[in-house]
Amino acid sequence: MKHPVTLMINGMAHAVEVESRALLVQVLRDDLNLTGTHVGCDTSQCGACTVLLDGRAVKSCTLFAVQAEGHAITTIEGFGTPEQLHPLQTAFWEKHGLQCGFCTPGMILCAADLLSRNPDPSEAEIRHAIEGNLCRCTGYQNIVTAIQSAAAAMRAKAETAFAATPAKPAGQPAGAGV
C-alpha cells in the first residue's frame, strides 16, 4: 500500500506516493531521479547516501521516506551549480579530494554539516566528522585537505561580507525606524 507524501528537496516540493517501507534513498534515486545520492552498502556503514535533513547530515538509507516529510532535504543536486560551485566542491576539485567520485556527494554534504556548526575545525575534528563516510580510492588526506581549504575560503568570504556590511548610525537602537 502506498502513501502520498510531499518531500521538500532542494527547496522544491515533490509529491510522491511511497510504500511505508520505502527508504529515503530509494525514493530520491528511483522515484525522483536524484541519482547524485549514492548507495554503497544499504546498511548504514559507508555514508555514500548522505543528505542533509534540516541542515544535518543523515544517511538516507537509514530513514523511511515518510519520516522525511516536513523536513528540508538537501541533496548534492541542490548544492552549488555547475556555473557556481560551492566552496567545498571547488576545494575537492582543486585539492584532488576525489578519484572515482562515488563517495564525494556524501563527503561534501557531511563536511557542509560540520562547517555549518564549526567554521574552523581542527584536522582531528574533520577526521572525526567524516569517519562514517568511507572512501575506497582517494585516501583521506586529500579529502581532509580539501575540507580545510573550503573552511578557510568560507571564513574569508564571511569576513569580507561582514566588512562590507554598513555600520548602524551611532545611537540608533536595533530595529529603530522599522
**Of the residues 45, 81, 116, 141, which one makes contact with ligand FES according to CB under 6 A:** 45
Show the cell assigned to 166. 554598513
**Of the residues 44, 116, 118, 122, which one makes contact with ligand FES according to CB under 6 A:** 44
Task: Give the number of other Cβ atoms within 10 Å of residue 10's Cβ.
Answer: 16
37 scored as a contact of ligand FES (CB under 6 A): no
What is the distance between the alpha carbons of residues 163 and 144, in angstroms, rounded to a whole number?
Answer: 29
30 scored as a contact of ligand FES (CB under 6 A): no
Report CA-CA distances (Å) from 108 to 26, 42, 50, 171, 174.
Answer: 20, 19, 9, 44, 37
Q: Provide the minimum distance between the beta carbon of 165 and ligand FES in the complex, in angstroms, as a whole number.
A: 38
H-run or E-run covering 133? none
**Of the residues 46, 91, 112, 129, which one makes contact with ligand FES according to CB under 6 A:** 46
Q: Which residue number, 128 or 136, has a Cβ lying nearer to ligand FES?
A: 136
The residue ranges that bind ligand FES (CB under 6 A) are: 39-42, 44-49, 59, 61, 98-104, 135-138
